[in-house]
Each structure stands twice: as C-alpha cells, then as structure tokens.
Amino acid sequence: QKEVEQDPGPLSVPEGAIVSLNCTYSNSAFQYFMWYRQYSRKGPELLMYTYSSGNKEDGRFTAQVDKSSKYISLFIRDSQPSDSATYLCAIPPRGAQKLVFGQGTRLTINP
C-alpha cells in the first residue's frame, strides 16, 4: 500500500463551484500535512499546510485533517479559472527530511 493515495482525476467543475480534493495516508506518525499547487509546465509551490486535526482557512482555501480516519482534504470555495492546476498532497515522515507526495489531482475550472 502506498503511504499516500490521491485520486488523480481529472476533475472538471464550473466556475463558482466548491471543490473537494482528498488524500488518504497509511502512517499515523505523520505530524503535519501540506498541499502543493502546480500550474501547467511549472514546478509545484506550497499552497498551505496544517499541523493538527481540524481546519485551517486561507482565503477561499480550507485544509482539513482527520487523523482518526487518516484522511486529508482541501476545499476551494468560489472556484475560479485561475485555480485550474494540479493539486498534490504531501506529507513529511516523522524525523525525515523528505516528503511523500500523492499522485496529484488535475483540476479544471470552466468559465
């Protein structure tokens, strides 16, 4: 079983929709959880991260962690065409200077 699983999509929604992106993980020792955004033909960039179970909000974006279910989510409200990108969850194993990435979900917001 992969340490981090993410539905690769693709996901296509109309502008203004609420988007939900999800990952599951297998190792309960993970301490914090990250979401990267990657525009076409660019390198990924950190979008947001959260340490503990619960929600973290940043503008139209909300990151949610459910440690009991080993499930993390990224919600995008009032989605815009500029949100079209690939979103990757990433989790750092405890004590390791590495990241384990999900497969990435390609998202398209249609005007």
Partner 1 sequence: DAGITQSPRHKVTETGTPVTLRCHQTENHRYMYWYRQDPGHGLRLIHYSYGVKDTDKGEVSDGYSVSRSKTEDFLLTLESATSSQTSVYFCASHGTSGINEQFFGPGTRLTVL
- End-to-end CA distance of the chain, in Å? 38
Query: Quick one: 77 or 94, whose CB is closer to partner 1?
Result: 94
Over the range 21-49, which residues count as b (16 or more CB within 10 Å of their CB) and which as e?
bbbbbeeeebeebbbbbbeeeeebeebbb
Question: Which of the 8 DSSP states describes residue 94?
Answer: T
6 binds partner 1 (CB under 8 A): yes
Query: Quick one: 74 or 88, whose CB is closer to partner 1?
Result: 88
Query: Quick one: 49 or 75, whose CB is closer to partner 1?
Result: 49
Find the binding residues for partner 1 in span 80-109 (CB under 8 A). Answer: 88, 92, 97-99, 101-104
Binding residues vs partner 1 (CB under 8 A): 6, 8, 32, 34, 41-46, 49, 88, 92, 97-99, 101-104
